[in-house]
Amino acid sequence: MPDIQATLEFLADIPLYQIEKPFLALLSPSQLVDRNFPRENLQWEHHDKINIKDVRDDPFNYTIEKCGFQVLQHRSKIESFNLAIDVNMYKMETEMLLKNELGAEHVYCYDLRLRESKEFARTTFDLLDPMLVEGVAQGAHNDVTVDSGPVMIRRHLGLREQETYLTPRYRIRIVNTWRVLNDTAPDRPLTLCDFRSLNPEDLIPADRLLPDKVGEVYYLRYNQEQQWCWLERQHHKSPSFREPFHKAPYSDTETNPIMNDTRAASPAASNMSNTSTSSSGSGSPFPITSSMFPTPTVKKQPWKAWFTPVINTENTLIVTTSHHDSGTMGLGGY
C-alpha cells in the first residue's frame, strides 16, 4: 500500500511549557476542594497531511527490537468482554502471548483498557471498574517515562519477584498490546511512531494526578522528522505490541522509554472498539543500550498548591469537562 496522509494531534509547542509542567487531574469528587484551581493545563495542536507508512508489506523492518513496535498474528479465545472474568482471562492470555513472543521468564499483565471511538455523555467514571469503556486516548503520547517506569515496576512486582528480577542480570520491559475488537478498524486506527525517528527532546513529561498517587507520562511535540506507521485493515487477529519502557541489564540507571502513539483522524465511519493491555516482564540478559534522554529541567507544578494524594480514597474519578473522557492512557505510574 502507498503512504496515506492524516491529521495527528500533538502537545502544543507554547512558551507555557518552558516554565510549567503539563498536567491533568483525574480526581474523586471529594478531592475537588476548590473549583477555581485549574484541573489541567494541556493545550493541543493539529498537524495535517502527515505521511503514515503501511507496515504490512515490510514486517521484517518493523520489529520491537528495530523500531519499538511489532504486529503479531494471534487469534484470541476471548470473543467478547461482558464480565470481569473475560478481562481476567484476556490478561492471562496476553501474558502467555508476550512470554512466548519475547522469550520472557516472567510476565505480569497489570492493566486492561477497553475503548470505543465515540463521545461519552458522562461526568464521572470509575477507573477501577474492569468493565469501564473509555474513549480514544488524546494526543500523541508515551504511557511511561524514565521516572514513572521504575515506580510502576516496583508497584506490580511482589517482593520475591523484585529480589529475583530487579538485578543487573535482567532486562525489564513494560509492553503495551493493542487489539481491534471489530472485524477491522474502520476509523481512527492506531498510529505508531518509529522510535528511530524520535528526538528525545520532543518527549515532554506531564503529571497525571490520581486520587492516591501522581504518575507521569510523556506527550509528544511535533517534529517533521518523525516517521509514523499504521497497519491497513488491522483486524482482531493482528494485534500489535509496543515497548514504552526498557531497562537494560547490567545497569540500574539505563532506562529507555521509546514509543509514542496516537490515533489518526480520518472521516467518520462506524464506531471502532479495541482493547489495550499493559504488562511488565523480564527476560534473559541483553546488551546494554545507552540512555537517550537529557536531564529534565525543574518546572513549576501549580497543582501542588491544592492537591495531596490520599491513600485508600474513593475510586470514582471526576471528569470535569467532556473532552477529558477521551481516554486515560496508561496513567503513568498507575
Give the three-class secondary structure for 305.
helix
pLDDT of amino acid 185: 75
Q: Is the pLDDT of residue 63 over 90?
A: yes
Q: What are phi and psi of 294, to 5 degrees?
A: -70, 160
The mean-pLDDT minimum among 28-32, 78-82, 130-134, 190-194 falls in 28-32
Angle at 307 between CA 139 and CA 138, to 5 degrees: 10
Of the CA atoms within 13 Å of residue 196, those in its CB half-sphere come to 9
Work out the pLDDT band at 278, boundaries 50, 70, 90. Answer: confident
Q: What does the pLDDT average to over 245-265?
A: 58
- Confirm whether pTM is higher than 0.75: yes
Between residues 101 and 332, the one the model is more confident about = 101
Q: What does the pLDDT average to over 171-175?
A: 93
Instruction: Calculate what percentage of the chain has a pLDDT beyond 70.
Output: 78
Distances (CA, A) of 236 to 77, 164, 175, 176, 257: 11, 35, 18, 16, 26
| 327, 136 Cβ separation under 8 angstroms | yes
49: left (phi over 0), alpha (psi -120 to 50) or beta: left
Q: Is the pLDDT of residue 28 over 70?
A: yes
Work out the pLDDT band at 286, boundaries 50, 70, 90. Answer: very low
Q: What are phi and psi of 267, to 5 degrees?
A: -55, 140
pLDDT of amino acid 271: 43
